[in-house]
Amino acid sequence: MALTDDAIAKLRSMIQSGELPPGARLPPEPQLAAQMGLSRSGVREAVKVLESARVLDVRRGDGTYVTSLAPRLLLEGLGVAVELLRDDTLLEVMEVRRMLEPVATGMAALRMTDTQLDELAQILEDMRAAADDAEKLIQFDTAFHHTVVATTGNETLTSLLDGLSSRTLRARVWRGLIEGNAAHKTIDEHHAIYLALRSRDQLLAHASALMHVNTSEAWLRTVLAAQAAER
Amino acid sequence: MALTDDAIAKLRSMIQSGELPPGARLPPEPQLAAQMGLSRSGVREAVKVLESARVLDVRRGDGTYVTSLAPRLLLEGLGVAVELLRDDTLLEVMEVRRMLEPVATGMAALRMTDTQLDELAQILEDMRAAADDAEKLIQFDTAFHHTVVATTGNETLTSLLDGLSSRTLRARVWRGLIEGNAAHKTIDEHHAIYLALRSRDQLLAHASALMHVNTSEAWLRTVLAAQAAER
DNA sequence: CGACAGCAAACGTCCGATGTCTCTATAGTG
DNA sequence: CACTATAGAGACATCGGACGTTTGCTGTCG
């Protein structure tokens, strides 16, 4: 096919070139169709694709606008992509986290403010209180890591790591952790990371984060193996 | 809106649940429309979105199929996302590369075969021969880093790093490098990485890769600053 | 047995109509 | 005068059908 894909490419290049800057409003669909030489249907498909990529923001009854193009938006798709990866490639994802998250945590140790540390302490407390509630544990776990990475001030990095730790991936790991009575130990690992961050010790933060991701990876392996055995 | 997005979500969940495994063929569009309770137009938009995300493969005259869902496909979108990032966030991307690529290169040092090393040597030679041809330099530069990272055997990692080093980003850096008469020095950096890999020295590989990314980052800063000054 | 023509199925594209939502300007009201 | 309710215009959402083009298959013919 060509027409619709051409339209997608054309819109993308108009945005990339600055002809359609963030916040700009696109012409109405019929007009856009005329400009690009295809029917409104084709334009709608093209717009829909860019909307799903968070490049365009379609407001019904109003018009279509270019988003802010912030990393947090454009990299959102990474999360859904990871959700669709097959089981055997999840270990690859975990390996990337293992490479990236410790470095990011180490960097966070250098930049974290007292306020942010207190925030972490609060999350840690919540986690302890959540005990065996898998749902809440996952939620606080997500918040913990997000908060740590976010303090690097690098939104791209944060979005990437958020995406790599998709919800279903986290859920699987925690399912294993809880069933294996390792939730408590894992919460302690978070505490260790917290302590390293509070002492602004980059190396220790790096090491504790690596230990932690390693634990997650191990449990993911367990869960995947158990699941494979079921068949 | 709801109908089309519901359809997207429904298709995605059918794929994620394994109801539509890789390679599976979807029902024809009209039938799909009936199943999901919307018109063919809506189905087409949904399919188009998933096709652009490399989740579905639409073959005209034949039918629509689920792709292999390989990381290389699903993470392809990262590249186009990075292409659309605004200039001020490119430095964030570079910072992520700076964190990830050295680790990956270090890992490659442990796993690289002699054949792969020879391949690298060839690329290096090509690079030297390309001299001032920016186009070729970019191409060989891309090949060099891709080859190194690919030897980690981690397709997810490879796709991520490929995506982070988008073509336009590379092009900008090299433009700066050439205009600044630093192309030769940069090629030497590649040589240093190569030597570290050949001696299977993980730490040295890590260090040389960091030095190299750092150089790229510095030139990106220069290019961005020069561009900002133009206005 | 192989090549070719024809057919059926499926996607690509277009068109026009109608529904629904938003924004805005206007008229009305206290 | 300020505020509110409302009517209308504009824009996207969805639908239904029609027609073109491509692909894969199949049955026939040499």
Q: What is the pLDDT of residues B124-157, one digit of tens each?
A: 999 999 877 889 999 999 999 999 999 999 999 9
- For residues A53 and A69, give the distance between their C-alpha atoms in angstroms, rounded to a whole number: 10
CB atoms A86 and B80 under 8 Å: no
What tens digit of pLDDT does each residue of A34-61 get? Answer: 999 999 999 999 999 999 999 999 999 9
Rounded percentage of chain B residues whose pLDDT exceeds 70: 100
Rounded percentage of chain A residues whose pLDDT exceeds 70: 100
Place of tokens 């659309």: B84
pLDDT of residue A131 exceeding 80, the answer is no
Q: State residue B133's pLDDT score.
A: 87
pLDDT of residue A231 exceeding 80, the answer is no
CB atoms B49 and A44 under 8 Å: no
Place of tokens 């001032």: B132
Bridge partners of B59, per DSSP, are B63
Q: State residue B155's pLDDT score.
A: 97
Tell which A residues from 68 to 97 touch B, by Cβ distance under 8 Å. Answer: 69-71, 74-75, 77-78, 80-86, 89, 92-93, 95-96
Q: If you ran DSSP here, which 8-state letter would residue A25 be given?
A: B
What tens digit of pLDDT does each residue of B94-133 get? Answer: 999 999 999 999 999 999 999 999 999 999 999 999 877 8
- For residues B187 and B128, give the distance between their C-alpha atoms in angstroms, rounded to a whole number: 7
What tens digit of pLDDT does each residue of A150-200 get? Answer: 999 999 999 999 999 999 999 999 999 998 889 899 999 999 999 999 999
Give the 3-state DSSP-derived string for chain B, with helices as H, strands as E and coil as C. Answer: CCHHHHHHHHHHHHHHCCCCCCCCECCCHHHHHHHHCCCHHHHHHHHHHHHHCCCEEEECCCEEEECCCCHHHHCHHHHHHHHHCCHHHHHHHHHHHHHHHHHHHHHHHHHCCHHHHHHHHHHHHHHHHHCCCHHHHHHHHHHHHHHHHHCCCCHHHHHHHHHHCCHHHHHHHHHHHHHCCCHHHHHHHHHHHHHHHHCCCHHHHHHHHHHHHHHHHHHHHHHHHHHHHCC
pLDDT of residue A64 exceeding 80, the answer is yes
In this structure, chain B runs to a length of: 231
pLDDT of residue A23 exceeding 90, the answer is yes
Mean of the per-residue pLDDT values of chain B: 95
What band does B45 get if pLDDT is binned at 50, 70 and 90? very high
The tokens describing A162, both together, are 């958020």
Q: If you ran DSSP here, which 8-state letter would residue A63 be given?
A: E
CB atoms A1 and B60 under 8 Å: yes
Residue A104 approaches strand D within 7 Å at CB:
no
**Averaged pLDDT for residues B68-97:** 97
Q: Nearest CB to B77: which of A70, A81, A93? A: A81
pLDDT of residue A8 exceeding 80, the answer is yes
Q: Nearest CB to A157: which of B12, B80, B96? A: B96
Place of tokens 């002809």: A19
